[in-house]
Amino acid sequence: MKKIILSTLAALALSSTAYADVIKVGVVGPFSGPFALQGKNFKAGIDAYMALNGNKVGNDTVEIIYRDVPAADPAQSKALGQELIVKEKVQYLAGFYFTPDAMAVTPILKQGNVPMVVMNAATSAIMNTSPFVVRTSFTTWQTSTPIAKVAFDAGVKKVITVVSDYGPGVDAENAFKAGFTKAGGEVVQAIRMPLSTNDFSPIMQRIKDSGAQGVFAFLPSGPTTLGFVKAYNDNGLKASGVKFFAPGDLTQESDLPALGDAALGIQTSFHYAVSHDSPENKKFTEAAIKAIGNKAELSFPAVGAYDGMHVIYKMIEATGGKQDAQKAVDAVKGLSWVSPRGPVSIDPESRHITQNIYLREVAKAADGTYINKEVQTFEKQGDPGLAAAK
């Protein structure tokens, strides 16, 4: 009798392992080099989601495979995307900090039968390059449109725009200009800098010489955003009364200690602040801080990754773990949930995330740390850049 029970148990164990699959998710991001902290935030968001929700969807086990693309490097991103699909047989691709790295991989999604969940890259046009892309981050059109009105309402009528010369920078420039001129303001000059620019003194001189009352800036978050805001403070622009406006990439929380009191009062607009006051964000930040190991390092890519995992889990659920990119993507069109950033949904047409955009001000919290304090909410913002990107 004992023998029969044992062999039945063994057979059961065998059959359950036979039906349970490992579902691989390939995550591409900057995990080394100057932007490593941004990749570390991807991982913290993913770890937080899996710590709170487990690593299983039904009987299937989710396994994350990381690949490092330290900078905007489309050739390397494409090679790694191919390797993940062909050799590792991932069912999902995710991550993608820089727009060119995402754009290099979207053309192979259809053939690979693999959806891509963009956890950061923020150029509107990415969505038009493949029907298998879903995005849980933001676009620079989405984040830069509200701040244009804020700048005009603050009495600033002449602005100079300064952006990194690539997808999200050009989008940010166009978004700000559209909103600011519609309000009645004038963009007196538009500077586009190479992505590699890290000496900002000549730019600060051009801002001074332009006679603008304010500057609007976009650079991808990382060492250069810190350098840019420092240069604005150190070159006397702030002291001379030139007002600073930007999306929140320029004041990510991990940069604030290095900027210090000089950053106090800077206004930015963005989809997420680590200090966002909600039960969902409390739960998220506790888990993400545990994952990243240091509260001061937590920043916005973590929330894009956390929500990206939510979308992937829903896709796995809807397909019963089978590889079917179309079915997976269709299943999350219109999906809505409460993110740590606030209420969100996946727009069924664009597959981009609809969300609140917050106006924030750099402030000191009661415990002496610097935060992006939310002061105004622009509810349920879609992506105004989609029409422009078509």
Q: How far is the CB of 99 from ligand PHB (least distance, A)?
A: 4
Q: Residues with Cβ < 8 Å from 251, sequence gap 6 or more?
A: 225, 229, 259, 263, 266, 268, 360, 362, 372
Amino acid residing at 56: K
Sheet with strand 56-57: strands edge to edge: 56-57, 60-68, 22-29, 92-95, 116-118, 133-135
Q: In residues, how long is the chain?
A: 390
Task: Identify which of 135, 131, 132 has the alpha carbon closest to the alpha carbon of residue 123.
Answer: 135
Bridge-based pairing state of the strands 92-95 and 116-118: parallel
Closest residue to ligand PHB, judged by C-beta, is 220
Q: Residues with Cβ < 8 Å from 245, sequence gap 6 or more?
A: 147, 148, 150, 151, 156, 159, 176, 214, 215, 216, 217, 267, 268
Note whether 123 binds ligand PHB by CB under 6 A.
yes
Task: Identify which of 173, 359, 383 has the alpha carbon closest to the alpha carbon of residue 251.
Answer: 359
Note whether 122 binds ligand PHB by CB under 6 A.
yes
* Of the candidate residues 47, 173, 249, 255, the single one contacting ligand PHB (CB under 6 A): 249
Interface with ligand PHB in residues 158-217 (CB under 6 A):
168
Q: Among residues 121 and 226, whose Cβ is nearest to ligand PHB?
A: 121
DSSP 72: S
- Near ligand PHB by CB under 6 A, which window of 119-127, 202-210, 237-245, 365-373? 119-127
Task: Identify which of 184, 179, 220, 221 has the alpha carbon closest to the alpha carbon of residue 378.
Answer: 179
Q: Among residues 72 and 328, whose Cβ is nearest to ligand PHB?
A: 72
Note whether 307 binds ligand PHB by CB under 6 A.
no
Interface with ligand PHB in residues 82-111 (CB under 6 A):
97-99
Query: How many chain residues are in contact with ligand PHB, going by CB under 6 A?
Result: 11
Task: Say how many CA atoms lie within 13 Å of 214 toward its Cβ.
Answer: 27
- Near ligand PHB by CB under 6 A, which window of 115-123, 204-212, 284-292, 365-373? 115-123
Distance of CA 243 to the CA centre of its chain: 26
Task: Say how many CA atoms lie within 13 Å of 222 toward its Cβ.
Answer: 24
* Of the candidate residues 130, 144, 174, 221, the single one contacting ligand PHB (CB under 6 A): 221
* Of the candidate residues 50, 121, 274, 346, the single one contacting ligand PHB (CB under 6 A): 121
Note whether 26 binds ligand PHB by CB under 6 A.
no
Q: Residues with Cβ < 8 Å from 156, sequence gap 6 or more?
A: 185, 213, 214, 243, 245
Q: Among residues 221 and 381, whose Cβ is nearest to ligand PHB?
A: 221
Q: How far is the CB of 254 from ligand PHB (least distance, A)?
A: 12
Q: Among residues 214 and 304, whose Cβ is nearest to ligand PHB?
A: 304
- Near ligand PHB by CB under 6 A, which window of 59-67, 114-122, 290-298, 333-341? 114-122
Helix (H) or strand (E) holding 287: helix 279-292
Q: What tokens does 141 get?
A: 């059109």
Q: How far is the CB of 100 from ligand PHB (least distance, A)?
A: 7
Q: How far is the CB of 117 from ligand PHB (least distance, A)?
A: 15
Note whether 220 binds ligand PHB by CB under 6 A.
yes
Q: How far is the CB of 249 from ligand PHB (least distance, A)?
A: 4
Q: Among residues 220 and 385, whose Cβ is nearest to ligand PHB?
A: 220
- Near ligand PHB by CB under 6 A, which window of 116-124, 202-210, 254-262, 280-288? 116-124
Interface with ligand PHB in residues 344-373 (CB under 6 A):
none
- Near ligand PHB by CB under 6 A, which window of 24-32, 121-129, 235-243, 368-376? 121-129
Contact footprint for ligand PHB (CB under 6 A): 97-99, 120-123, 168, 220-221, 249
